[in-house]
Structures are given as structure tokens and as C-alpha cells.
């Protein structure tokens, strides 16, 4: 199996949107409300992140197999809300947030999620970040396991008020 990770391009958008829909369907199958009711990844967010150079795709044997974005945690719409339980390790002034981790349906059951997330951690390190953050819905046990297996540590809970069922478990990696 030949794989690589590269910056996403506008030409990838149709495949990225199909991956988002497959992710929504999979979450629905698991009876998890994450990414429903118009929240979660969208065409607009993907287009913005592609323009800004934040989006990455996983390519396996020439096909787009995964998507995520690494969004700098500067003040703005993508800044993580304050935790309602727990605390962030704040020893580094800048962080990067991993958003919208999604894999194509053809990858399911192949153990690709953890290595993909580890590659994105390596990418964040290459970009100079020592504080990497991510979150997921409390019911998304599969993603929580992937995050822990990739080296993330649970930091607490936050609430995204504009999102139905907006409670999220937060995770972080600090590198020194």
C-alpha cells in the first residue's frame, strides 16, 4: 500500500465532501449526534481551510482516503473555548487544533486512523508547534481511542454553545 499526506487542493473538494458524508453516515450508524444538524465539517470550512493552507489529505494508492485540518489556535472563530472541566497545559503560547478528522469508507477496518493522526502530529511538529489540541463528542469512543493511541492525553470537557449536544472531550499533546 502506497501512502502519502499532502496539502489539500481545490480539485480535491468533491472527494473531501464525499468523505465528510461517509463520516456523518458512520456516526449516525453508531447513534452519535456529532456532525449533525448542520455542524461539523462543511464545504465552506473545507474551502476556507484549503485557501489558508490548513487542510491535508491522506492519499492511499492514488486515491484520497482521508482528510483533516491543522488550524492555528490564534484568537478567532476556531479558537478552542474555555474548558468547563479540566485545564489546558498552557506552557506554550501557540497551539494548533486538529479539526475534522475523517476517513473514506474504503479504509474502514484497516487500522488507518491512528497512523494518520500520528502523521498529522508529525506535520504539526514540522510546522513548529509544541501544543497540539483535538476534541470529540463524548459518545465517540472510537475516536477517543484513536486519539489516546496517537499520544493525546485527555484534558477535560468544553461546550460549544452553537452546536446541538455541544459537549466535547478535549485532548492535548505537549512537546518539550
pLDDT over 90 for what percent of the chain?
Answer: 69
pTM of the predicted protein model: 0.91
pLDDT at 162: 67
For the chain, state the CA radius of gyration. 15
**Residue 77, pLDDT above cutoff 60:** no
pLDDT at 60: 95
Domains delineated in the chain: 3-174 (3.40.630.30)
Amino acid at each position: 500500500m502506497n501512502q502519502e499526506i499532502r496539502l489539500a487542493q481545490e480539485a480535491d473538494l468533491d472527494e473531501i465532501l464525499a468523505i465528510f458524508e461517509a463520516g456523518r453516515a458512520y456516526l449516525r450508524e453508531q447513534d452519535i449526534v456529532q456532525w449533525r444538524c448542520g455542524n461539523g465539517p462543511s464545504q465552506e470550512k473545507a474551502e476556507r481551510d484549503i485557501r489558508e493552507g490548513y487542510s491535508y489529505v491522506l492519499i492511499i494508492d492514488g486515491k484520497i482516503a482521508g482528510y483533516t485540518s491543522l488550524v492555528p489556535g490564534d484568537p478567532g472563530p476556531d479558537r478552542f473555548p474555555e474548558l468547563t472541566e479540566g485545564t489546558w497545559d498552557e506552557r506554550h503560547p501557540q497551539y494548533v487544533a486538529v479539526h475534522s478528522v475523517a476517513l473514506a469508507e474504503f479504509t474502514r477496518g484497516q487500522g488507518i486512523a491512528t497512523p494518520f493522526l500520528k502523521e498529522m502530529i508529525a506535520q504539526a511538529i514540522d510546522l513548529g508547534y509544541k501544543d497540539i489540541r483535538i476534541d470529540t463528542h463524548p459518545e465517540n469512543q472510537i475516536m477517543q481511542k484513536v486519539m489516546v493511541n496517537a499520544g493525546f492525553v485527555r484534558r477535560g470537557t468544553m461546550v460549544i454553545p452553537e452546536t446541538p449536544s455541544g459537549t466535547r472531550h478535549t485532548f492535548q499533546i505537549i512537546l518539550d
